Each structure stands twice: as structure tokens, then as C-alpha cells.
């Protein structure tokens, strides 16, 4: 008999996981407490933007294998339950807020059938899985718990779920591993590396990976600061060091730094947890990684002030990009939107454009100006800020834009625009980490 699956929490991670598991042929029930989200998903409509997931979701709903509900008791039939709820930064500190994870496990506990396996996918502080497993031993001794961290990137969610570069499972016994091997058989058969770990190591793998990625980005942004001071060019530096395979050229794009729903909160929660464990010193460097990252935003604002004046009240600034990265409508901890809001708070008139994220950006900062297209955004502006590297911005014609603006000044916060092309169209061009 084929295994039946449930997915608890149908946000970014859960909706993706549910649709992808259904596409592997499993019967999947998705559960979430948000009735609006469930209504949309049930119709095959995605509540956020993710390339390829919209069509996959719609086609899986049509097969009848994939259903969604707000009723937790609907998981009773399932053999494996994936916990995919959020673990945001808590309101009063750096630590992760585990409310949703705990209530998800409590919510399904009364409905778990004999021999079923609860599998956490959410990013949690090390030790959480062991604690939940002990709780479950009290409330639902017929079930077991494992951890299976998720490494999906927004913009590549389907690809990263169906063809991940590794599968990591944290298990306390062979049976849990066997069940997970059955679920992931089609992916394992592709040759995907399979890593069995204990519960704490599996939790640590996720935060270690994200800390490493954050460190790489902040490293190159620190080099950008030095390049600016010394008259160097960080884009050339990154290319040159990236040829060393031990370093590699990925995640060395200097600019306004990392944002999104994962890297910033994960490194903070990791620091908080290390401190609780008495290993504070080991992760002190992450404080610096965070500081370098936030400083990049300030550096852009400094260039704006240097180009215009300290008093920004009489200037119109056009901001290209609101999402935390291209191919996403996610504005959580978006460096682009933070810079836009800070400039507006400093008195500038700020108009933001983004191909996908305007609606989310408006919800977060309703007082910012928004434009439906680039032309309207830059019209009569004194300065253009390029803050999210969407392809359509790289393809802009600087000659055509020159006719629309008041002043031809552009700051490339992502080192993605063609500097020569903009300069030959008469623009004053600045980029982070490039002193020339
Ligand atoms: C990240 C991890 O990559 C993923 O494995 C994990 O599961 C969740 O967190 P995601 O948040 O989707 O994924 O974004 P990612 O592609 O890692 O980018 C994060 C941020 O870093 C973005 O704001 C991006 O603009 C920035 N970034 C990335 C840089 O500033 N420079 C780079 O070279 C790469």
C-alpha cells in the first residue's frame, strides 16, 4: 500500500512540498489554520509567486491526489506527516519563535495512527526535535518523530524539492529512516546523496548551511568596503578569487546584502541557541556577519546623500526592486525595501517599482510611492537606485530612460547593471564596492 502523506503548514515550504510529493504519486493532504490560504490552494491557486509551482499545483489538484483543509483531524489517514510551519524571529529577541511548530505537533497528535511518523522540515534551534519527540512519546506514543531539513531557495522551490543536491534525515532509529527512504525513493533513485544523521545534527546542518551562505555574502561585502576605501573593484576581485575551486564563484555577488525569510533570522536564532548551550563564543562571528550585512544598506544611503544632499526633502528617488531577491514576490527583511523606507523616512519622495512584489511591499509600507512600470517610476527622478536584480532591469535602455529623468544618476546596489552601457548614455554610475 502506498504511503499517504500530510503536510502541516501550507506556506512557502508546505505548499511546495505538498505539490511536489503529490507529483511523485502520493496522496497528500495539506493542513493550515488560515482559511483564505486553504481556499486558494484548494482551487489550485498559489497565494504567492513562485515560478513553476503555480502550474504544478493546478495540475496536481486536478489529479485528485492533492487536497487541502483547515481540519486537523483530516490527517488521521496519513502515515507520514511533514511539519512545514514557520519559525520567525521572536518579537522580543534573536531567538526563533517555536509557537507554530509546537501547536502543529499538538494539533495532529490526537489524530496520529499507529506506526505513523511525524517529520519536521521547519528550521528549528538544535534540541527542538528531541524535545518534541519526548512530548510525542507522552501524547501519542503510537507515533515517532524525525527531522528532515529543507534547503529550498525561493525562485527554485520546485527544482530544489524534486532534485535537491542532498537529502538529510535526522532519525532516532532504522524504521524512521526506512519510511523516509520509501517517501523519497524517486529522488534517491536519481542518485541524490542521502545523509542519515541523529536529530541534533540534522537540525544543525540547516543552520550551518545558511550561516555559511550568509558568511560568504558578508565576506564579499566586507571586501567591497575595503575596495571602496582602497580604490579597488570588488566585482573583479570576486571573479578572480572565485576561480579557486576551494572558494567557488557562487554567493560572491557584492551589493546590499542578504534578506528574506531565512538567512537573517536563521543566523540570529543560531547565535541565541549557541548562547543557551554555552557555546556563545563559537558563533560570535555571526554578529559581525549580521552587522556587515546591515551596513551595506547604510552605505547605499550614504552614496545617495553624497550625490544629492544630506537634506533629501526636495528629491524624488526611483527605486527599482522591492523583493529580497529576483524571481520572488517576498519582501520579508528585504534590503531593497528597507533602503526605500529609510530614504522616505529621511524626507525623500520615494517611488518603488517591482515586477512581482508591489502588492506585498505596499502592505508592509503603505506610505511609500509605487509605480506600475519603470517609466512611471523614474519619471522626473533625481536618482535611480537599482536594488533587486530582476532581468528586466538589466535589459533597460539607459538612453531611453535618460529622457525621462531630472538627473542622470544611478546607483547599482546589486552590481548587475552594465556600467559601460549606462555611462556611455551619459549617466553618472555608482556601484557598491567599485570605487571607479
Ligand atoms: C536561502 C538558502 O539559500 C536556502 O538553501 C534555504 O533553504 C533558505 O534560505 P533564499 O532565502 O530563497 O534561500 O535566498 P538565497 O538565494 O539564499 O538568497 C538570500 C539573500 O542573499 C537574497 O537577499 C540575495 O539577494 C542575497 N545574495 C545572494 C547576495 O546578496 N549575494 C549573493 O551572492 C547571493
Sheet of 383-386, strands arranged across: 369-370, 349-353, 316-320, 383-386, 409-412, 428-431
Q: Does residue 256 share a domain with residue 321?
A: no
Q: Does residue 249 form part of some domain?
A: yes
Q: Does residue 219 share a domain with residue 90?
A: no
Q: Are 163 and 336 in contact (CB under 8 A)?
A: no
Residue-level pLDDT at 104 = 97
Report helix, strand or coil for 343. Answer: helix
| 3-state percent breakdown (helix, strand, coil) of the chain, nearest 5 | 45, 15, 40
Catalytic residues: 262
Residue-level pLDDT at 404 = 98
Q: Does residue 416 share a domain with residue 315?
A: yes
Q: Are 279 and 204 in contact (CB under 8 A)?
A: no
Q: Are 330 and 154 in contact (CB under 8 A)?
A: yes
Q: Does residue 315 share a domain with residue 173?
A: no
Q: Does residue 191 share a domain with residue 57?
A: yes
Name the nearest CA neighbour of 89 among 228, 259, 223: 259
- Rounded CA separation 54/15 (Å): 10
Q: Does residue 202 form part of some domain?
A: no
Q: Does residue 145 form part of some domain?
A: yes
- Rounded CA separation 266/279 (Å): 16
Q: How far is the CA of 256 from the centre of ligand 1 (A)?
A: 12
Q: What is the CATH number of the domain that holds 9?
A: 3.40.50.720
Enter the C-alpha cell of residue 356. Answer: 512581482
Angle at 332 between CA 40 and CA 122, to 5 degrees: 70
DSSP string of 41-107, one letter each residue: HHTT--SS--TTHHHHHHHHHHHTSEEEES-GGGGGG-SEEEE----PBPTTSSSB--HHHHHHHHH
Give residue 141's Cα distance to chain centre.
35
Using CA atoms, how far residue 146 sits from 84, 98, 304, 419, in Å, is 13, 17, 50, 50
- Rounded CA separation 201/87 (Å): 18
Residue-level pLDDT at 435 = 87
Name the nearest CA neighbour of 101 among 112, 85, 123, 88: 85
Q: Does residue 167 share a domain with residue 52?
A: yes
Q: Are 242 and 249 in contact (CB under 8 A)?
A: yes
Q: Check pocket membership of 252 for ligand 1, CB cut-off 6 A.
A: yes
Q: Check pocket membership of 184 for ligand 1, CB cut-off 6 A.
A: no
DSSP string of 107-149, one letter each residue: HHGGGPPTT-EEEE-S---TTHHHHHHHHHHHH-TT-EEEE--
Q: Does residue 109 form part of some domain?
A: yes
Q: How far is the CA of 258 from the centre of ligand 1 (A)?
A: 6
- Rounded CA separation 30/82 (Å): 9
Give the position, in ligand 1's atom list, of the atom nearest the Cα of 151.
Answer: 7
Report the residue among 160, 263, 324, 338 best suited for mutation to probe ligand 1: largest number of ligand atoms under 8 A from its CB. Answer: 263
Residue-level pLDDT at 201 = 98
Q: Does residue 240 form part of some domain?
A: yes
Using CA atoms, how far residue 363 sits from 359, 367, 370, in Å, is 6, 9, 11
Name the nearest CA neighbour of 344 among 304, 306, 307, 380: 304
Categorise residue 348: left if φ over 0, alpha if ψ from -120 to 50, beta otherwise: beta
Angle at 10 between CA 6 and CA 16, to 5 degrees: 85
Residue range of the domain that includes 221: 207-289
Alpha-carbon dihedral 101, 207, 290, 306, rounded to 10 degrees = -90
Q: Are 415 and 234 in contact (CB under 8 A)?
A: yes
Q: Is 62 annotated as a binding residue?
A: no
Q: What is the CATH number of the domain that holds 242?
A: 1.10.1040.10
Q: Are 29 and 68 in contact (CB under 8 A)?
A: yes
Q: Does residue 99 share a domain with residue 52?
A: yes
Q: Does residue 97 form part of some domain?
A: yes
Q: Does residue 133 form part of some domain?
A: yes
Q: Does residue 215 share a domain with residue 133?
A: no
- Rounded CA separation 240/50 (Å): 33
Residue-level pLDDT at 141 = 96
Q: Does residue 353 share a domain with residue 281?
A: no
User: Could you give the maximum distance between any two Cα atoms of the chain, in Å?
Assistant: 71
Name the nearest CA neighbour of 336 among 277, 259, 403, 231: 259
Give the position, in ligand 1's atom list, of the atom nearest the Cα of 150.
Answer: 7
Q: How far is the CA of 206 from the centre of ligand 1 (A)?
A: 13
Q: Is 68 annotated as a binding residue?
A: no
Name the nearest CA neighbour of 43 among 24, 26, 30, 33: 30
Based on the structure, what is the number of domains in the chain? 3
- Rounded CA separation 84/98 (Å): 12
Question: How many residues are recorded in the chain?
Answer: 436
Q: Does residue 303 share a domain with residue 285?
A: no
- Rounded CA separation 124/332 (Å): 18
Q: Are 188 and 163 in contact (CB under 8 A)?
A: no
Residue-level pLDDT at 96 = 92
Q: Which of 170, 197, 224 is the last residue of a domain?
A: 197
Q: Which of 147, 174, 197 is the last residue of a domain?
A: 197
Residuewise pLDDT in 10s, the chain (436 residues): 799 999 999 999 999 999 999 999 999 999 999 999 999 999 999 999 999 999 999 999 999 999 999 999 999 999 999 999 999 989 999 999 999 999 999 999 999 999 999 999 999 999 999 999 999 999 999 999 999 999 999 999 999 999 999 999 999 999 999 999 999 999 999 999 999 999 999 999 999 999 999 999 999 999 999 999 999 999 999 999 999 999 999 999 999 999 999 999 999 999 999 999 999 999 999 999 999 999 999 999 999 999 999 999 999 999 999 999 999 999 999 999 999 999 999 999 999 999 999 999 999 999 999 999 999 999 999 999 999 999 999 999 999 999 999 999 999 999 999 999 999 999 999 999 998 7
Q: How far is the CA of 153 from the centre of ligand 1 (A)?
A: 7
Question: For ligand 1, atom 27, which residue shows the shortest CA distance?
Answer: 258
Q: Does residue 257 share a domain with residue 130?
A: no
Q: Does residue 301 share a domain with residue 424?
A: yes
Grid cell 503510537 is found at 142
Q: Is 298 annotated as a binding residue?
A: no
Q: Which of 289, 321, 344 is the last residue of a domain?
A: 289
Residue-level pLDDT at 1 = 76
- Rounded CA separation 165/192 (Å): 6
Q: Check pocket membership of 151 for ligand 1, CB cut-off 6 A.
A: yes
Q: Does residue 436 form part of some domain?
A: no
Amino acid at each position: 500500500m502506498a504511503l499517504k502523506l500530510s503536510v502541516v503548514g501550507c506556506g512557502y515550504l508546505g505548499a511546495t512540498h505538498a505539490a511536489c510529493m503529490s507529483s511523485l504519486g502520493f496522496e497528500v493532504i495539506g493542513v493550515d489554520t488560515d482559511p483564505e490560504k486553504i481556499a486558494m490552494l484548494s482551487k489550485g491557486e498559489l497565494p504567492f509567486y513562485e515560478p513553476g509551482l503555480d502550474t504544478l499545483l493546478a495540475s496536481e489538484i486536478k489529479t485528485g491526489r492533492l487536497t487541502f483543509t483547515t481540519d486537523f483531524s483530516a490527517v488521521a489517514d496519513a502515515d507520514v506527516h511533514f511539519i512545514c510551519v514557520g519559525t520567525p524571529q521572536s518579537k522580543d529577541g534573536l531567538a526563533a519563535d517555536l509557537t507554530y511548530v509546537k501547536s502543529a505537533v499538538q494539533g495532529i497528535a490526537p489524530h496520529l495512527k499507529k506506526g505513523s511518523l511525524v517529520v519536521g522540515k521547519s528550521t528549528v534551534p538544535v534540541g527542538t526535535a528531541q524535545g518534541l519527540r519526548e512530548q510525542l512519546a507522552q501524547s501519542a506514543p503510537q507515533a515517532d518523530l524525525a527531522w528532515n531539513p529543507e534547503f529550498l531557495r525561493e525562485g527554485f522551490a520546485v527544482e530544489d524539492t524534486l532534485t535537491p543536491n542532498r537529502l538529510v534525515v535526522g532519525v532516532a532509529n532504522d524504521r524512521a529512516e526506512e519510511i523516509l527512504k520509501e517517501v523519497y525513493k524517486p529522488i534517491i533513485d536519481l542518485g541524490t546523496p542521502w545523509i542519515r544523521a541523529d536529530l541534533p545534527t540534522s537540525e544543525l546542518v540547516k543552520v550551518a548551511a545558511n550561516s555559511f551562505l550568509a558568511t560568504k555574502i558578508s565576506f564579499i561585502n566586507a571586501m567591497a568596503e575595503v575596495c571602496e576605501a582602497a580604490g579597488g573593484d570588488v566585482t573583479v576581485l570576486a571573479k578572480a578569487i572565485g576561480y579557486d575551486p576551494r572558494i567557488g564563484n557562487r554567493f560572491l555577488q557584492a551589493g546590499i546584502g542578504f534578506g528574506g525569510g531565512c538567512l537573517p533570522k536563521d543566523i540570529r536564532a543560531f547565535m541565541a541557541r549557541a548562547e543557551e548551550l554555552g557555546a556563545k563564543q563559537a558563533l560570535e562571528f555571526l554578529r559581525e556577519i549580521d552587522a556587515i550585512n546591515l551596513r551595506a544598506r547604510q552605505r547605499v544611503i550614504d552614496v545617495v546623500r553624497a550625490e544629492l544632499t544630506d537634506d533629501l526633502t526636495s528629491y524624488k528617488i526611483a527605486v527599482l526592486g522591492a523583493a529580497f531577491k529576483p524571481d520572488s514576490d517576498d519582501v520579508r527583511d528585504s534590503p531593497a525595501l528597507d533602503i526605500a523606507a529609510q530614504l522616505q523616512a529621511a524626507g525623500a519622495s520615494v517611488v518603488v517599482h517591482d515586477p512581482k512584489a508591489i502588492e506585498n511591499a505596499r502592505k508592509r509600507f503603505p506610505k511609500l510611492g509605487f509605480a506600475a512600470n519603470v517609466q512611471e517610476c523614474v519619471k522626473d527622478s533625481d536618482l535611480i537606485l537599482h536594488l533587486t536584480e530582476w532581468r528586466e532591469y538589466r535589459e533597460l535602455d539607459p538612453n531611453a530612460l535618460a529622457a525621462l529623468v531630472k538627473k542622470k544618476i544611478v546607483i547599482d546596489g546589486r552590481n548587475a547593471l552594465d556600467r559601460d552601457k549606462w555611462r556611455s548614455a551619459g549617466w553618472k554610475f555608482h556601484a557598491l564596492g567599485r570605487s571607479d
